[in-house]
Amino acid sequence: MGKQRIVLLYGGKSAEHSISCISAACVLSALDNHRFEAVPIGITKSGDWLVGGTDPRDFDLAGQPLPSVRSGNGAHRVALEFGRGGDGFFAVDSGSDPAADSVSQQRFQQGPYLNSVPASRGALYSLGHIDAVLPVLHGPFGEDGTVQGLLDLLGVPYVGCGVFASSACMDKHFTKILLKAAGIPVTPSITIDTRQVHETGETCTSQQGSLFETAAVEYLARVRRAGLRYPLFVKPSRAGSSFGVCKVGHEGDAAELGAAVREAAKYDWKVLIEQGMSGREIECAVLAPHIDGKPKASWPGEIVLDRRSPGNDQFYDFDSKYLDSGASHAQIPADLPEATLRHVQEISIKAFEAIDGAGLSRVDTFVGSDGSIVVNEINSIPGFTPISMYPKAWEASGLDYGELVTALIESALGIGR
């Protein structure tokens, strides 16, 4: 039996582009090469799909600047032909000669694609049959249902949540609505629309001072009406990896709140203002290895900050998550009573099912000193870097990184154990 060919889709247009590149490098290194043949396809920050360029395993994962998908180094654009399923992936050779174009036309004359892309723009070469796609994309245009919808139209199986679950998890506002409807406690918050406080087409950094100050006062009034307790956390509704997240600690300070909203709005016009929870942040990895099977939950883990900024008032930010392995470590299982850990697992599975999850997700919760549990958010494509919680939680639960990657691919192929 031949190897099954898996497209690893990474990079993307979101602010989490580099994290996706790091995740892709780790996944490729752990892939079972006896069973699977990887076909890495990188998406540039401008949205170009490329194949045959720099291998993610050759990225300098510890360097600056962070890795990114770029043209050159033998990279070719990727063209997709809808209706051909796993046979619909092509590389475009824009530098081919007329003879090569002629051969290409003969090779693909059975399909309609060459009718829509003139041969003068490049010869098409099949990437071969693709059995499944493993998206390692984070944030908008990758984790939000857009790529999932494209793959559904293409007719290719893929790892992870479908269109609805992906888009719902990407939008923290709607995640809360779904979870509350399922009877699952969530973090108290309000959602604000920042489009009304700046000119159409302008960024939030160019807002008129007087107009923005008026809006900030209204934000503060809404916080008071909602009864949200300080500290507050202000975050984009549809972003991840702690981009644009700010902590607001001074009650009644409209200027501080307004500045936090403006920072979050750089990433999304829809902004959440959440009540800071006094409980511990506990994360649980959920895996659905088969579409018909019951989801499984790892031992819940906790990120312990080992290095804090002056003032001892640091939260788990971007650098702590992905770049600085000495800033924190994962305690798995978290130092909690076993009954509480089991309850976190139960709620995580319930939340995963409430959003119609598939494949994988990481459910982030707060656990209070009294054992109460509220769900903060759900990440449908969690990070896969060496210090990311999702793979580390499964490793601590008896499933190592390579086995986890295999289980995820099997979930897409419908052969999960």
∠147-45-52 over CA atoms, to 5°?
Answer: 80
Confidence band (pLDDT; 50, 70, 90) for 1? low
Q: What is the pTM of this model?
A: 0.84
CA distance 269 to 215: 14
> How many domains would you assign to the chain?
3
- Kindly state whether residues 230 and 369 are assigned to the same domain: no
pLDDT tens digit string along 289-328? 876 678 999 999 999 876 555 554 555 455 555 555 566 7
Q: From 275, 297, 314, give the residue that closes a domain.
A: 275
Whether residue 262 is predicted with pLDDT greater than 70 in this model: the reply is yes
Instruction: Answer yes or no: do 198 and 313 share one domain.
Output: no
Q: How far is CA 300 from CA 336, 362, 384, in A?
A: 9, 10, 17
Q: What is the CATH number of the domain that holds 61?
A: 3.40.50.20
Tell me, yes or no, whether 119 and 23 share the same domain. yes
* Predicted local distance difference test score (pLDDT) of residue 209: 52
Question: What average pLDDT does the structure give for the chain?
Answer: 85
Q: What is the CATH number of the domain that holds 353?
A: 3.30.470.20
- Answer yes or no: do 138 and 27 share one domain: yes
For residue 228, count other CB atoms closer than 10 A to its CB.
Answer: 19
- Which SS3 state, helix, strand or coil, does residue 258 take? helix
* 314 and 406 belong to one structural domain: yes
End-of-domain residue from the set 224, 248, 275: 275
Higher model confidence: residue 387 or residue 166?
166
Q: How far apart are the first and last CA of the chain?
A: 19
Tell me, yes or no, whether 255 and 342 share the same domain: no
Domain end call among 275, 293, 327 = 275
Q: Are residues 118 and 214 in the same domain?
A: no
Do 290 and 271 share a structural domain? no
The answer, yes or no, to whether residue 242 has pLDDT greater than 80, is no
Give the per-residue pLDDT at 320.
Answer: 52
Please state which of the ranges 252-261, 325-334, 388-397 shows the lowest mean pLDDT: 325-334
Which CATH number does the domain housing residue 271 bear?
Answer: 3.30.1490.20
Write the pLDDT tens digit of every residue in 118-136.
444 568 999 999 999 999 9
139 and 263 inside one domain? no
SS3 content of the chain, % helix, strand, coil (to 5): 35, 20, 45
**In terms of domains, do 249 and 322 share one?**
no
Domain that holds residue 371: 167-185+279-413
pLDDT at 108: 38
What pLDDT is stored for residue 3 in this prediction? 93
Answer with the residue of higher pLDDT: 270 or 110: 270
Ordered DSSP codes for 111-166: SSHHHHS-GGG-EEEE-----EEEEE--STTTSSSHHHHHHHHHT--BSS--HHHH
Same domain, yes or no: 14 and 132: yes
Do 253 and 318 belong together in one domain?
A: no
**Tokens coding 109:** 């004359």
> Is residue 199 over pLDDT 50?
no
- Confidence category of residue 385, pLDDT binned at 50, 70, 90: confident
User: Which of 13, 16, 14, 12 shows the shortest CA–CA distance to 241?
Assistant: 16
Q: Render pLDDT for 16-67 as a digit per residue (tens, 0 to 9).
A: 899 999 999 999 999 999 999 999 999 999 999 999 988 999 887 777 788 9
